[in-house]
């Protein structure tokens, strides 16, 4: 699929998704020829599934030496994609949750808005766990404070198009599931336009290969610490901005 001057590849971070990663990569290739899979230090079954993708020329596969978290895997993917000459990556999860039928709408939006961050917001079915819904409501409240009300419809869904140029000088300390939240907010602070589009989300059963690496206690504590940091930074930016304006008038 031609994208004019933009070069886009899928970016699929994976950690121990041996039953689903191949199907996700094959489905992705229905929309774009170029698929980059980042194996975040999977154990042997997950690593073997990724190696098979490379052997069958389904995807470019980058193996991380050790598990560093979803954010670390995505960061590695940014570096690899940039080194290969891509200008954008379309990130999707490797567990099969995302309905890739939404991809054409994301690519069409990218054509008209190549500098924007195009973010998916979830349309859930009955498979969505209650604990995940609660975590999202908690996060939505803080994200509205940090990025502006309604600017980001959902900061946790890992179905999004990143313009790589906007990320070149951006520092994002988070390396795990909190990365999806922090990178979006910091891009907004940098002045990047956000476009929100719906994407259907289904949680697979274990028999289908559905594996959740979300840890309700640890990850929610991590989210709390993240929002504490971001709100503090936002307040400091506001205070020093106000101070500068007052100083300029004196």
Predicted pLDDT at 234: 87
The total of structural domains in the chain comes to: 1
Per-residue pLDDT, 235 = 85
Query: Is 170 a member of any domain?
Result: yes
Are 184 and 117 in contact, with CB atoms under 8 Å apart? yes
Nearest to 35 by CA among 16, 62, 15: 62
**Residue 118: exposure state from Cβ atoms within 10 A (0-12, 13-18, ≥19):** buried
Residue 83 belongs to a domain: yes
pLDDT for res 83: 98
Identify whether the C-beta of residue 113 lies closer than 8 Å to the C-beta of residue 31: no
Residues 224, 228, 229, 230: is their CA dihedral positive or negative? positive
Q: Considering only CA atoms, which of 16, 199, 214 is closest in space to residue 97?
A: 199
Does residue 24 form part of some domain? yes
| Per-residue pLDDT tens over the stretch 163-214 | 999 999 999 999 998 999 999 999 999 999 999 999 999 877 666 556 665 6
Asked if residue 227 belongs to a domain, the reply is: yes
What's the pLDDT score for residue 249? 53
Whether the CB-CB separation of 57 and 143 falls below 8 Å is answered with no
- Is residue 111 domain-resident? yes
**What is the b/e burial string over 167-176, where b = at least 16 CB atoms within 10 angstroms of the residue's CB?**
beeeebebbb
**Contact predicate 37/25, CB 8 Å:** yes
Q: Is 238 inside any structural domain?
A: yes
Angle between helices 178-189 and 130-147 (to 10 degrees): 20
Give the residues of the chain that fall short of pLDDT 70: 1-4, 126-135, 205-220, 238-250
Confidence (pLDDT) at 247: 45
Location of structure tokens 């990320």: 167
Q: Is residue 3 part of a domain?
A: no
The answer to whether 148 touches 114, Cβ cutoff 8 Å, is: no
Model pLDDT, residue 246: 43
Domain that includes residue 132, residue range: 8-249
CATH number at residue 190: 3.90.550.10
Give the per-residue pLDDT at 241.
62
């Amino acid at each position: 699929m031609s994208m004019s001057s933009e070069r886009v590849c899928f970016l699929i971070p994976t950690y121990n998704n041996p039953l689903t990663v191949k199907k996700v990569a094959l489905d992705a290739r229905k929309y774009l020829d170029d698929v980059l899979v980042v194996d975040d230090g999977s154990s042997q079954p997950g690593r073997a599934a990724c190696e098979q993708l490379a052997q069958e020329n389904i995807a470019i596969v980058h193996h991380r030496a050790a598990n560093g978290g979803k954010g670390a895997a995505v960061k590695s993917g940014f570096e690899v994609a940039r080194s290969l000459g891509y200008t954008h990556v379309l990130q999707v999860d490797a567990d099969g949750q995302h309905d890739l039928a939404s991809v054409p709408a994301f690519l069409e939006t990218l054509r008209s808005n190549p500098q924007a961050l195009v973010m998916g917001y979830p349309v859930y079915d009955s498979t969505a766990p209650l604990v995940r819904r609660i975590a999202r409501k908690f996060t939505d409240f803080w994200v509205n404070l940090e990025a502006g009300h309604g600017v980001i419809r959902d900061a946790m869904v890992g179905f999004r198009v990143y313009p790589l140029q906007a990320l070149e000088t951006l520092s994002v300390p988070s390396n795990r599931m909190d990365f999806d939240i922090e990178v979006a907010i910091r891009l907004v602070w940098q002045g990047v336009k956000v476009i929100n589009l719906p994407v259907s989300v289904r949680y697979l059963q274990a028999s289908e290969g559905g594996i959740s690496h979300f840890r309700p206690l640890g990850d929610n504590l991590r989210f709390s610490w993240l929002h504490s940091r971001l709100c503090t930074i936002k307040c400091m930016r506001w205070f020093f901005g106000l101070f500068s304006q007052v100083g300029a008038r004196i």
